[in-house]
Amino acid sequence: MKLLTTVTAIAGALAITAGSAHADNLRWKMPVAFSTNLPGLGSPAAWVADNLTTASSGSIQVRVYEPGKLVPPFDILDSVSDGKVAAGYTWIGYDQGKVPAVPLFAAVPFGMKPWAYIGWYYYGGGEQMLQDVYANKGYNVHAQLCGIVGPETAGWYKNKIESLDDYKGMKIRFAGLGGRVLEKLGASVTMMPGGELYQALEKGTIDATEFSMPAIDQILGFDQVVKYNLFPGWHQQFTAQYMLINKDEWNRATDAQKALVEASCTAATTRGLAEGEYKNGKVLAGFQAEGVHADQIPRPVLEKLKSVTEEVLKEEAAKDADFKKVYESQKDFMETYKVWDQRAYLPADMD
């Protein structure tokens, strides 16, 4: 009887231990908004998934689903929040109609350089503000910064852009707050995933588009359809991507697993920026050799765009308390950062 009791107790203990180990294993499906072959924009998602499996010795396994294979790109937030999938990887600016403040964490016209943004995000309270922004709008997600790239181009156009009047009546794909700016200038702004843009340009569904940096735009083939590429990317000086994780899934993760997710995403943010900075110069030089006109926006036009941008930002801040709080935090940071930025870095024309 004593032997039976002892064996039963050991078996029970082993069952509890096995059950706990099983409960701690995370098996997440993660749809992504961008193809993982896109450098800096989609590639970090695949890198994070592989790195998490390796670093956790299999405790965390993330299966990546290419755009549209499991969840439409623009449905990722709702699918994660509702628990249909455990995680998703996306540019959160797509959800500005649902959560007005999120574009400030995704891309801000005439906003921060990438390294300034992550400075504010990690050390200026941005990370917690983003969690609050989602919670305040009823979304059950944990947001983890998981990728960033530098400036986009200001778009691809069939005809040369010589003034802001050229935007009147133009059918253009333009994302985030920059799209609101062009709407004020009379453009007809639409939103569609990157994979649909080549055909839309080719068929004339849109007259112009922006999407990302040269290393990505080349893969999507925009230079094969239109030949006017505008710079600088005033509307997106940084583009940040996030791993959205269902809050219940995040809460059941161990502290060690959470630390691995945070560390992997922080590393992916660095690697994504590095990949874009490494590839863009060569791609842009190749564009010009193939007859693409890389036009610079004249300074007076940029100043007008900035003026309209300031109107848009103030309007959005007046409509949403979260937007106002984040916007003011970023402005306060930039007041001190610009002192460093203007003095510490060499002028761009001093190679």
Cβ neighbours of residue 188 closer than 8 Å, sequence gap 6 or more = 169, 170, 171, 172
Mean pLDDT of 43-56: 97
Q: What residues contact residue 347 under an 8 Å CB cut-off, 6+ apart?
A: none
How much is the pTM?
0.89
pLDDT band at 351 (very low <50, low <70, confident <90, very high): low
Cβ atoms of 60 and 51 within 8 Å: the answer is no
Interacting residues of 82 by C-beta distance below 8 A, sequence separation 6+: 140
The radius of gyration computed from the CA coordinates of the chain, to the nearest angstrom, equals 23
Q: How far is Cα 189 from Cα 172, in angstroms, rounded to an integer?
A: 5
Torsion of CA 243, 244, 247, 251, to 10 degrees: 0
60 C-beta neighbours (distance < 10 Å), count: 24
Render pLDDT for 81-120 as a digit per residue (tens, 0 to 9). Answer: 999 999 999 999 999 999 999 999 999 999 999 999 999 9
Predicted confidence at residue 23, as pLDDT, reads 43
Q: Distance from CA of residue 170 to its chain's centroid?
A: 26
pLDDT band at 24 (very low <50, low <70, confident <90, very high): confident
Question: What distance in Å separates the CA atoms of residue 291 and residue 156, rounded to the nearest whole number?
Answer: 13
Residue 119 sits at the vertex; the CA angle it makes with 118 and 123, to the nearest 5 degrees, is: 115
- Cα gap 328→187, rounded to integer Å: 28
In the prediction, which pLDDT does 27 show?
97
pLDDT tens-digit readout, 212-239: 999 999 999 998 899 899 999 999 999 9
Mean pLDDT of 40-50: 96
How crowded is the C-beta side of 262, counted as CA atoms within 13 Å? 11
Question: Which of 18-32, 57-71, 99-113 has the lowest average pLDDT?
Answer: 18-32
Q: Which residue has the tokens 């009823």?
A: 138
Q: How many CB atoms lie within 10 A of CB 112?
A: 21
pLDDT tens-digit series, residues 175-187: 889 999 999 999 9
pLDDT of residue 289: 83
Asked if residues 86 and 80 have their Cβ atoms less than 8 Å apart, the reply is yes
| N- to C-terminal Cα separation, the chain | 85
SS3 297: coil
In whole angstroms, give the CA distance from residue 246 to residue 96.
19
Burial 252-282 (b: 16+ CB within 10 A, else e): ebeeebeebbeebbebbbebbbebbeebbee
Q: Token digits for 258?
A: 């959470």
Distance of alpha carbon 333 from alpha carbon 221, whole angstroms:
38
- Other CB atoms within a 10 A radius of the CB of residue 83 amount to 12
Give the per-residue pLDDT at 13: 39
Torsions phi, psi for 33 (to 5 deg):
-85, -20
Q: With beta carbons less than 8 A apart as the criterion, state whether 60 and 260 touch.
A: yes
CA-wise closest residue to 204 among 252, 164, 159, 165: 159
Helices (H), 137-175: none
Element (H, E) at 236: none
Rounded average pLDDT over 40-54: 96
Question: Which of 322 and 348 is assigned the larger pLDDT?
Answer: 322
Helix and strand numbers (H, E) in the chain are 12, 11
Mean pLDDT of the chain: 91
Q: Give the residues across from 157 on adjacent strands.
A: 208, 228
pLDDT of residue 37: 95
pLDDT band at 347 (very low <50, low <70, confident <90, very high): confident
